[in-house]
């Protein structure tokens, strides 16, 4: 999948494409990559009492079909805001967002979101939580149950289908969160620091699982994280953000072979270089990130 993408497209070209939205599409198509999600000049400002926060300033980005893109940056850089705008949980002040060429306003049934604080509905059983999005789409009961169980099987949780969500561990709850989002068969899956609240061991397990699910299902994933290693392990491309104002500063190709395992990635020379580059660009340790 990554291999036939060949050499990384010229970074300069992409930087140029970012400046002009229509050009982005041309560049992606020239490279034989269909853009599924296109951001053009997205801007978002949060007016505050003491100061106005520019959460996003002129963000232009094209996400390709079946791609795994991570948005990485320090807190306050607007990466979560961009993800929320994508699914209509916030509205952009400027710019346009298009899914498969159609301009969106206020979310789309073709996308689903995985939240950091998972928020499974405690009054519903696990399987009923997974069914919620299918109820919104008017699927008949039997079909809902069948598809929800299928999703639970995919995340290895069929045995707790009828349990109450609060009886599950954090890692299991987030698996349900993923199953809930995937059940609606989204074209694009948006994940907002989904493993941020989990312990290290669980996080690494889930990273491997999500990589496998992504490879198996061919869903496009936009993933927000501030964990550089996580981003390198999972992504085809990493998009770097900087705060004040929140802006896109660089798009990095993660040209590591797949499938990747946690150990290989960290020992891989190229991964080490990528990591060093990202960390220096984020200004970690120089105080710029704060």
Partner 1 sequence: MSAVATRRADAPPRRVPLADRRATGIIAPLIAAAVILGAWEITGLFVNRVLISSPQGAVSSLYDMIRQGTINGALSISVRELYLGLAIGLAGGIVLGVAIGRYALLDSIFSPFVNAANATPLNVLIPLLILWVGISAEARVLFVVLISFFPVLLNTAAGLRNVSRGYVEVGQMLGLSEWQLLRKVILPGTVPYIFAGIRLGSALGVIGMIVGEMEVSNVGVGYLLNFYGEGFQTGNLLALVFISALIGVVNVMVVRTVQKRWFRWIDAAR
Distance between CA atoms of 121 and 43, rounded to whole angstroms?
A: 32
Shortest reach from residue 133's CB to partner 1, in Å: 4
Closer to partner 1 by Cβ: residue 74 or 88: 88
Positions in 150-179 near partner 1 (CB under 8 A): 164-167
Would you count residue 199 as binding partner 1 (CB under 8 A)? Answer: no
Would you count residue 133 as binding partner 1 (CB under 8 A)? Answer: yes
Q: Which stretch binds partner 1 (CB under 8 A): 23-31, 95-103, 128-136, 168-176?
A: 128-136
Decide if 74 contacts 290 (C-beta within 8 A). yes
Strand ranges of the sheet holding 247-253, from the earlier edge strand across to the other edge: 111-114, 188-192, 220-225, 68-72, 237-242, 247-253
The continuous run of DSSP H or E covering 197 comes out as none
In this structure, is the dihedral angle defined by the CA atoms of residues 173, 174, 177 and 183, taken in order, positive or negative? Answer: negative
Would you count residue 89 as binding partner 1 (CB under 8 A)? Answer: yes
SS3 135: helix
Decide if 183 contacts 207 (C-beta within 8 A). no
Q: Which stretch binds partner 1 (CB under 8 A): 118-126, 142-150, 155-163, 195-203?
A: 118-126
Residue choice 10, 29, 117, 273 for contact with partner 1 (CB under 8 A): 117
Residue with tokens 């992409």: 14
Closer to partner 1 by Cβ: residue 75 or 109: 109
How is residue 194 annotated by DSSP? Answer: T
Q: Which stretch binds partner 1 (CB under 8 A): 47-55, 127-135, 154-162, 221-229?
A: 127-135
**Phi-psi category of 41—alpha, beta or left, where left has phi over 0 and alpha has psi -120 to 50?**
left
Shortest reach from residue 199's CB to partner 1, in Å: 17
SS3 129: helix
Q: Which stretch binds partner 1 (CB under 8 A): 66-74, 117-125, 193-201, 206-214?
A: 117-125
| Structure token digits, residue 127 | 């399987």
Would you count residue 107 as binding partner 1 (CB under 8 A)? Answer: yes
Shortest reach from residue 99's CB to partner 1, in Å: 14
| Structure token digits, residue 176 | 């349900």
Would you count residue 136 as binding partner 1 (CB under 8 A)? Answer: yes
Residue choice 5, 23, 25, 115 for contact with partner 1 (CB under 8 A): 115
Residue choice 6, 16, 32, 122 for contact with partner 1 (CB under 8 A): 122
User: Exposed, middle or buried, 256 (CB in 10 Å: 0-12/13-18/19+)?
Assistant: middle
Q: Which stretch binds partner 1 (CB under 8 A): 130-138, 202-210, 211-219, 273-281?
A: 130-138
Binding letters toward partner 1, positions 29-68, x by CB under 8 A: ----------------------------------------
Distance between CA atoms of 2 and 165, rounded to whole angstroms?
A: 37
Closer to partner 1 by Cβ: residue 84 or 247: 84
Q: Which of these, 32, 33, 70, 73, lies nearest to 56 by C-alpha position?
A: 73
Residues that bind partner 1 (CB under 8 A): 87-89, 107, 109, 112-113, 115, 117, 119, 121-123, 132-133, 135-137, 164-167, 180-181, 184
């Amino acid at each position: 999948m990554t291999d036939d993408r060949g050499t990384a497209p010229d970074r300069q070209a992409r930087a140029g494409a970012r400046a002009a939205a229509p050009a982005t599409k041309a560049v992606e198509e020239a490279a034989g990559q269909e853009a599924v999600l296109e951001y053009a000049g997205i801007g978002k400002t949060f007016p505050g009492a003491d100061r106005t926060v520019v959460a996003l300033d002129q963000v232009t980005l094209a996400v390709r079909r079946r791609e795994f893109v991570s948005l990485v940056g320090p807190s306050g850089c607007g990466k979560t805001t961009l993800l929320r705008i994508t699914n209509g949980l916030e509205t952009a002040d400027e710019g346009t967002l298009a899914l498969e060429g159609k301009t969106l306003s206020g979310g789309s049934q073709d996308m689903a979101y995985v939240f950091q604080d998972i928020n499974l509905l405690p009054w519903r059983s696990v399987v009923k939580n997974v069914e919620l999005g299918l109820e919104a789409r008017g699927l008949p009961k039997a079909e809902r149950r069948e598809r929800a169980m299928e999703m639970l099987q995919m995340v290895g949780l069929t045995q707790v289908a009828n349990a109450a969500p609060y009886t599950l561990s954090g890692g299991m709850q987030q698996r349900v969160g993923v199953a809930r989002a995937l059940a609606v068969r989204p074209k694009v899956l948006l994940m907002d620091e989904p493993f941020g609240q989990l312990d290290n061991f669980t996080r690494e397990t889930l990273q491997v699982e999500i990589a496998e699910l992504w490879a198996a299902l061919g869903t496009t994933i936009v993933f927000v994280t501030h964990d550089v290693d996580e981003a390198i392990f999972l992504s085809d491309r990493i998009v770097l953000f900087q705060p004040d104002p929140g802006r896109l500063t660089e798009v990095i190709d993660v040209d590591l072979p797949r499938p990747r395992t946690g150990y290989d990635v960290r020992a891989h020379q190229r991964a080490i270089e990528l990591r060093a580059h990202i960390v220096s660009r984020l200004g970690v340790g120089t105080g710029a990130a704060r």
